[in-house]
Amino acid sequence: MTANTIIPVLINGATEDRVSSLDRGLLYGDGLFETIAVSNGEPVYWSRHMARLQAGCERLGIPWVDADRLADEARGLLQGVDRCVLKIVVTRGTGGRGYRPPPEPQPTRIIQRHPWPDFPARCGEQGVTVRLCEQRLGYNPLLAGIKHLNRLDQVMARQEWTDPDIMEGLMADTNGNLIEGTMSNLFVVQDQVLITPELGRCGVAGIMRAAVMELAGELPLQVALRDFGMTALLQADEVFLTNSVIGIWPVVRLGEHSWPKGKATQQLQQRLADLHREGNRRHDQG
Ligand SMILES: Cc1ncc(COP(=O)(O)O)c(C=O)c1O
């Protein structure tokens, strides 16, 4: 897909592809988004995505837009489509010049339907090579966890490399704790414990991250939310990345260092695939 490919989009329920130049999403990144995998025509983990979007709206003080309406609009856009990626953006809507939010914001809803990305199957099967990004994540506890539109840290990090063999960049915070990938959450397995950063100060609390932690409990694999840096990463038995579209990608190489695609990672991938076969109903519990 080129940058100019036309994709199906609804804005506030209408078939158009323009927002006002006064939209605060454009002016200040004043909004939130969700990127949702669609499988067998159904958005996967829909209620979890809606819950995060709603929590984000509450955190930013944006009036909640009604999940039923979003669901209706999404359904319209998905008709006859089996597999794709749905992107939902909610902004605070238009306002005058200046940061002060309007007293009665009218949120903008943008729903886009994107083709399923053509990541090679080997990413999940054999694992990926990653790099460590120079761009760091600053602390912002009030914005941590939610998927707000201010993504310049990720944009800066992602433009650090063009090598197509490097599938993801890892990002550390300003103290050197590893937090996540540019578009994914980070897990390590050490001595049978699944560890992922806590994300109280920065990072996005991924939907797939939460799902994987639940699946780990079923394996059973102990789960710990804990900060770790490069030393612990390099000593880890297994490393993997998650997001709603990629699922689980084992990490097998960073520079000169390599990890095997480990047993826990494979078991979690298997559990996720089983869940997928069972259908969306189980996905959406909780
Ligand atoms: C910065 C960042 N962290 C984590 C994730 C993973 O989130 P999810 O599992 O909800 O897709 C994403 C997804 O795009 C992301 O952009």
Choose the catalytic residue: 34, 73, 168, 180. 180
Could you give the CA distance from residue 172 to residue 188 in angstroms, rounded to a whole number? 15
Give the predicted TM-score (pTM) of the model. Answer: 0.95
* β-strand partners of 129: 166, 253
- 198 in active site: no
Q: Which residues contact 284 (CB under 8 A, 6 or more apart)?
A: 45, 46, 47, 48
The residue to mutate among 34, 196, 243, having the most atoms of ligand 1 within 8 angstroms of its beta carbon, is: 243
> Residue 276's pLDDT band (boundaries 50, 70, 90)?
confident
Could you give the CA distance from residue 7 to residue 82 in angstroms, rounded to a whole number? 16
> Residue 17's pLDDT band (boundaries 50, 70, 90)?
confident
Cβ count near 136 (within 10 Å): 17
Whether the pLDDT of residue 5 is over 80: the answer is no
**pLDDT computed for residue 220 by the predictor:** 85
> Residue 121's pLDDT band (boundaries 50, 70, 90)?
very high
Query: Is 183 near ligand 1, meaning CB less than 6 Å away?
Result: yes
Query: Is 11 near ligand 1, meaning CB less than 6 Å away?
Result: no
* β-strand partners of 171: 180
Q: How far is CA 1 from CA 42, 117, 161, 166, in A?
A: 23, 9, 20, 20
**pLDDT computed for residue 99 by the predictor:** 96
CA of 244 from ligand 1 middle (Å) equals 7
The residue to mutate among 86, 150, 185, 245, having the most atoms of ligand 1 within 8 angstroms of its beta carbon, is: 185
Residue 152 burial by CB count (10 A; 0-12/13-18/19+): exposed, middle or buried? exposed
Whether the pLDDT of residue 11 is over 50: the answer is yes
At 37, the amino acid letter reads A
Write phi, then psi, for 165 (nearest 5 degrees). Answer: -80, -15
**pLDDT computed for residue 6 by the predictor:** 81
Query: Is 170 near ligand 1, meaning CB less than 6 Å away?
Result: no
